[in-house]
Every structure is written in structure tokens, then in C-alpha cells.
Amino acid sequence: MSIAFSIVIGIVVLAVVCAIGAFNALVRGRNQSKEAWSDVETHLKRRYDLIPNLVETVKGYARHESETLEKVVAARNAAMNQTGAESGDMEKHAAAENQLTRSLKSIFALSESYPDLKANQNFLELQRELTDTEDKIQASRRFFNSMVLSFNNRVETFPSMLIAGMFHFEKLAFFELDESERAEVSRPVRVQF
């Protein structure tokens, strides 16, 4: 066997090993992103389960605030109907979840108008559990976004982008704030005494 032939065989074997490594890294990244999304969904499910209890507790104190309660229930149902972590669905799901978050803020603001409700043990416990769940959702979203960033970097960088293109690996969508939440976050906090 000639030296040139051995070098060519060595280069081909090295290229195949690199291609296999890149493909496996892309598969791992996609699967890690899916796992991270399922963690987000687990916490979202918990939030969906807590909301009806919270609404029922508030109903007992604020019967004439049905419009606020109906908005919360409608936002919960819209968010529950959005499923999946595919690029197109992910953006719709994020928008529905962001709407639900805004409507939950309105129910907590409503509680400020009813001192008896604020002191109700069931309401306080549900509020605490929901706040804890919201914190877990935020942490899960951050983890999901870090997995998506890692995967998207693999899809877009050389040489793994060649493998990604051949096997149709597509970039994943981040779980982001919608425009109204971005505007809300950028406003300064007002403290009044």
C-alpha cells in the first residue's frame, strides 16, 4: 500500500469520525432542548392546576370581579391549548404563557382591594405556591433557552452546520418575552409612599 493511499484513507476516516461526532452532538443538543422544554411544561402544568383553585378562592370574596376572573381562566385555557416545542408552535405557546402571566398579575392586584381575601389562609397558600411555581418556570425557561442557544450554535457553526444542513436540523425558537412585556420590563419601577 502506498503512503499517499494511506494518507487518503486516514483523511477519509478522520472526516467520517468528525461527521459522526457532529451528528451525535446535534442529536444530543436537540434532545437536551426537548428535555428542557418538558421541564418547562411540567411547571406550566402545575400552574394550570393551581389557577382554578385560586380563581375559586377569589370568587368567594370578589363576586362582582367576574371579568378579571374570566380573563384569567381564558388565558389559562389558551395557554393549555398551545403545546409542543417546534419552532412555530413555540412562539405561539410563549405568547399564550406571557398573556397568562399578565392575567395572574391582575388577580394578585385584585386581592389588594379585598383585605379579607388577602388574609385568607387558602388564598395565601395558593399565592405562595403559584409564586414558587412561577419562579420554577422562570428557571426552567432560562435552562431551556441555554439549551436552545447551545443547539442553535451547533446548527450555525462550521463544521457541524454542514451535517445540520444534510440532515435537516433546524434552529429552535427561544422562549422570549412578547413586545408588551419588553415594554413593561424597560419601564422604571415606581415606588410611592
DSSP string, 129-142: HHHHHHHHHHHHHH
* Chain centre distance of CA 64: 33
Residue 118 has pLDDT above 50, yes or no: yes
Q: Would the pTM of this model clear 0.75, i.e. be above it? A: no
| Predicted pLDDT at 85 | 47
Fold of 3-176: de novo design (two linked rop proteins) (1.20.1440)
Q: Which of 58-62, 65-69, 94-98 has the highest mean pLDDT?
A: 94-98
Average pLDDT of the segment spanning 114-123: 69
Q: What is the mean pLDDT of the chain?
A: 81
Tens of pLDDT, residues 166-190: 999 999 999 886 665 555 544 553 4
Spatial distance between the Cα atoms of 149 and 145, rounded to a whole number of angstroms: 6
The secondary structure of the chain in percent helix, strand, coil, rounded to multiples of 5, reads: 80, 0, 20
Tens of pLDDT, residues 130-165: 889 989 999 999 999 999 999 999 999 998 999 999
Which residues, at least 6 apart from 180, have a Cβ–Cβ distance to it below 8 Å?
Answer: 98, 102
Q: What is the amino acid identity at position 112? A: E
| Predicted pLDDT at 189 | 39
